[in-house]
Copies of this chain bind each other. A is one copy, B any other.
Amino acid sequence: MPSRATVSRPEPTPSILPALELIAAENAAVILRLLADAEATLDSAAARLLAARSVFVFGVGRSGLALKMTAMRLMHLGLRVHVVGETTAPAIGPGDVLLVASGSGSTGAIVRAAEAAAAAGAGIVAITTDLGSPLGGLAKVTVVVPAARKQDHDGQVSAQYSGGLFEQSVVVIGDAIFHGLWKASGASAEELWPRHANLE
């Protein structure tokens, strides 16, 4: 691990607006591609989550955090949802759906979980950059995100670090799936609100 002391302390002040513009432009481009290509997979992913007995979500690192944001919203919608690795997540089984996100589609822990879920009779919904990846092969529905993978360091797909653009896309896709399901449900915001955690 490089020493923490190697971070340079630049004069002058870091400049954040160009970074914000870059991120906005990259996200807009991904969303345009999804609008053009992903209607069927997004609708199918949403329908499978809605029909699941229980939804389980699993990702590692920042993709996992993005999926937890999605999981919380699906709980607000009234679905039964678990995060793999949290204390009270039970066994997955037939009728359940495992929602996973992996930029490469080949993250070891996620592929193993997807294999175990499939063996237990659950369906897999995957978000990944690579339809031909192991996760793409295991999933019933694969939402393909046209973004860089973690070690695409050459900046041809994204000038952001590592899987940043992919992880931002997972947040947006999760929230779009939630929003579409919410609107289709006919429930008002006031009907969802009482499900929010009330002890913190």
Using CB atoms and an 8 Å cutoff, list the residues of chain A in contact with chain B. Answer: 1-4, 6-10, 13-24, 27-28, 31, 34-35, 38-39, 42-47, 50-51, 56, 58, 60-62, 65-66, 68-69, 71-73, 75-93, 98, 108-109, 112-113, 116-117, 120, 151, 153, 160-162, 164, 167-168, 171-173, 175-200
A116 and B181 form a contact (CB under 8 A): no
- Out of B4, B19, B68, which one reaches A179, CB within 8 Å? B19
Residues of chain B lying within 8 A (CB to CB) of residue A65: 65-66, 68-69, 72, 87
B68 touches A16 (CB 8 A): no
Query: Of B81, B189, B196, which is within 8 A of A153 by CB?
Result: B189
Q: Could you give 26 example pairs across A and B, Cβ below 8 Å?
A: A1-B90, A3-B78, A10-B184, A14-B181, A17-B38, A17-B42, A19-B183, A20-B34, A20-B173, A21-B35, A23-B172, A24-B28, A65-B65, A71-B88, A75-B88, A76-B161, A82-B88, A84-B200, A86-B86, A86-B88, A108-B112, A109-B200, A153-B188, A153-B189, A161-B182, A168-B172
Chain B residues contacting A23 (CB-CB under 8 Å) are: 172, 175-176, 179
The winner among A13, A46, A199, A200 for most chain B CB atoms within 10 A is A199
Q: Are B4 and A176 in contact (CB under 8 A)?
A: no
CA distance A36 to B31 in the complex (A): 23
Known: A19-B183, A46-B13. A83 touches B87 (CB 8 A): yes
- Cα–Cα distance between A129 and B117 once the two chains are bound (Å): 29
Kindly state the separation between the CA atoms of A106 and B24 in the bound complex, as whole angstroms.
Answer: 28
Contact status of A24 and B86, CB under 8 A, knowing A14-B47, A182-B161, A195-B91: no
A167 proximity list for chain B (CB < 8 A):
69
Interface contacts beyond A7-B79, A16-B180: sample of 12 additional A-B pairs, CB < 8 Å, sorted by A: A3-B78, A16-B46, A20-B176, A23-B176, A27-B27, A65-B66, A65-B68, A65-B87, A160-B175, A161-B182, A164-B175, A168-B175
